[in-house]
A and B are shown apart, each in its own frame.
Chain A
Amino acid sequence: MRVVIDSEKCQGHGRCFALAPELFESDDLGQGLVIGDGQVAPGQAQAAHLAEQNCPEYAISLVE
């Protein structure tokens, strides 16, 4: 599983990097960025789902 941000939708609410700092970070402007290729390690699945479910702009998706 990988996490993906739709940068057209992201408005920098910052929920993703607060809830799943292993998977997301902020750029210099405060917009969300996926770290690396977004691969979700086994221990990170819950954090990935939380980020997806808390993004106010529905900008995050989990893909196989």
Chain B
Amino acid sequence: MSNPPVEDFATDFDHTDPRWVADPYPIWDDLRERCPVAHTNRYGGAWLPTRHADVTAIAHDTDHFTSRTVVVGNGRPTEEAPPAPIGVAPPITSDPPFHSHARRLLQPVFAPARVDALEPYVRELCGRLLDPFVGSSSIDASLDFAEHIPVAVISKMLGFPEEDGEIFRGFVHEILEAVDLPQEERFERFAPIEEYFVARIEEHQADPQDDLTTFLLNAEIGGQPLAPEHVFGSMVLLIVAGIDTTWSALGASIWHLAQHPEDLERLIAEPTLLPVAIEEFLRAYAPVTMARLVIEDLDFEGCPMRKDDWVLLSFPAANRDPEVFEDADKVIIDRAVNRHAAFGLGIHRCLGSNLARMELRVALEEWLARFGSFTLSNPEAVEWSQGQVRGPRVLPITLG
């Protein structure tokens, strides 16, 4: 099912439009010049800031913009979803002051030292995925490689079987990509997800483990154990937030290198440049766009925003703003000054950013150690995801 084609992105934008899905950058660059806060009547009314300054201002303004739901859809969450400040998936759907409690709980789990301890596992996993392709002439960098990494890592952290990855990817699709379905149908699709998690929670209650699920079950806020909806919501969030995003960032990095042999050669010759290059891939191909809802009518930069209007908070568009980034439209793998917002801005800064960076670095190191030269098999065959997380879902690569 698809929406009618967009007439003018300034007044009728739609992030599921095939032109946006194929190549959103010219659309945002045009809007930034001509109409920096675009509007659409679709989805019951939504706004799209494309300047870094406006994205920053809205991300920081939790008094006027709520995170109650962060995925734009046709309905509004008011009746079905637990109200702010907790929301369905704390902390991402929480507002202050509850947000900081829900976030603080998870912060130690994703702090650098804890993440570093997972590096050997990620390296072994990447080797296991890539070794069968050494000596072959092709691989799908998305289907055979990138999509398997974050899902295995978060399963391991939560203490779920590694082979359940396939199930999670289905969940993520249901939640993130099915934005143009009616609200009711989306809720129906949620039932098997709930069933799966409740089963894992019950297993862990009966037999506690040294993992993130047991950690959440034992966690307390203000001396009280977390509400069951909170535990469930946070688990769903970790699955949804960690999988598509990292998979997309890794896929986009490989997609870039497959088309830029000069960058590929340089990274192989100068491996210490890789972390700098990763920041540039994150800037230029930032995968994640979030949403906010307007809390009450307000005037933002001359735009009459109304209560319950969506704001599509495009960190990817902010990252292409020439006011903040020199040669914003060029991918410069040794860009030294790079204040990018790929992991968001303000209180919801991606909790998994240390983990995602480690996964990206290790995955690219292991890929480059095996494949010194590669190209896109067929640029036309690359398929990009639709929705608020952007990345290549099909990425056939010719090796050698």
Comparing B35-43, B127-135, B173-181, B331-339, the segment that makes contact with chain A is B331-339
**Contact size range, B:** 20 to 34
Contact A17 B112 (CB under 8 A): yes
Q: Which residue from A12, A56, A57 sits with its C-beta under 8 Å from B107?
A: A12
**Cβ–Cβ contact B337 & A56, under 8 A:** no
Q: For the complex, is A7 an interface residue (Cβ under 8 Å from B)?
A: no
- B110: interface (CB < 8 Å): yes
| Min CB–CB distance B338 → chain A (angstroms) | 6
Residues of chain A contacted by B338 (CB below 8 angstroms): 54
Task: Assess whether A28 is interfacial by the CB under 8 Å rule.
Answer: yes
With A13-B343, A29-B107, A29-B111 already in contact, the answer to whether A53 and B337 are too (CB < 8 A) is yes
Q: A11 to B110, alpha carbons, bound, how many Å?
A: 13
Residues of A contacting B345 with CB < 8 Å? 11, 56-57
Contact A26 B275 (CB under 8 A): no
Q: Which residues of B contact A30 (CB under 8 A)?
A: 107-108, 110-112, 354
* Docked complex Cα distance between A55 and B349 (Å): 12
Q: Are A28 and B108 in contact (CB under 8 A)?
A: yes
What A residues does B339 contact at CB under 8 A? 53-56, 58
- Compute how far the CA of A29 lies from the CA of B137 in the bound complex, rounded to whole angstroms: 44
Q: How far is the CA of A30 from the CA of B113 in the complex (A)?
A: 9
Residue among A11, A17, A55 making CB contact with B346, cutoff 8 Å = A11
Q: In the complex the two chains form, what is the Cα distance from A17 to B107 in whole Å?
A: 17
Q: Does A1 contact B (CB under 8 A)?
A: no
Residue pair A26, B104 in contact (C-beta under 8 Å): no
When A11-B346, A13-B349, A30-B354 are in contact, do A18 and B275 touch as well, CB less than 8 Å?
yes
Interface pair B347/A11, CB less than 8 Å apart: yes
B290 within 8 A of A: no
In the complex where A26-B113, A54-B337, A57-B345 touch, is A14 in contact with B108 (Cβ < 8 A)? no
Q: How far is the CB of B113 from chain A (nearest CB, A)?
A: 7
A interface: dominant SS: loop
Most chain A CB within 10 A, of B275, B341, B353, is at B353
| B335-375 Cβ-contact flags toward A at 8 Å (1 or 0) | 01111110101110100011001000000000000000000
Closest to A55 in B: B339
Query: Do B336 and A14 touch across chains, with their CB atoms under 8 A apart?
Result: no
CA distance A58 to B353 in the complex (A): 18
> Within A1-42, which residues are at the interface with B (CB < 8 Å)?
11-15, 17-18, 26-30
Q: Please determine whether A13 and B353 come into contact, CB atoms closer than 8 angstroms.
A: yes
Neighbouring A residues of B111 by C-beta, 8 Å: 26-30
A30 to B357, CA, bound (A): 14
CB-CB under 8 A from A12, the residues of chain B are: 107, 349, 353
29 A–B contact pairs at CB < 8 A?
Answer: A11-B349, A12-B107, A12-B349, A12-B353, A13-B343, A14-B354, A26-B111, A26-B113, A27-B111, A28-B111, A28-B113, A29-B108, A29-B111, A30-B108, A30-B111, A30-B112, A30-B354, A50-B336, A50-B337, A53-B337, A53-B339, A54-B279, A54-B338, A56-B340, A56-B341, A56-B343, A56-B349, A57-B345, A58-B339
Residues of A within 8 A of B (CB): 11-15, 17-18, 26-30, 50, 53-58
B residues sitting closer than 8 Å to A (CB atoms) are: 104, 107-108, 110-113, 275, 279, 336-341, 343, 345-347, 349, 353-354, 357
6 additional contacts (CB under 8 A) given A12-B353, A28-B108: A14-B353, A17-B112, A29-B111, A50-B336, A53-B339, A57-B346
**Chain A to chain B: the 10 pairs with minimum beta-carbon distance, closest first:** A11-B349, A29-B107, A30-B111, A53-B337, A26-B112, A56-B339, A28-B108, A56-B341, A30-B107, A54-B339
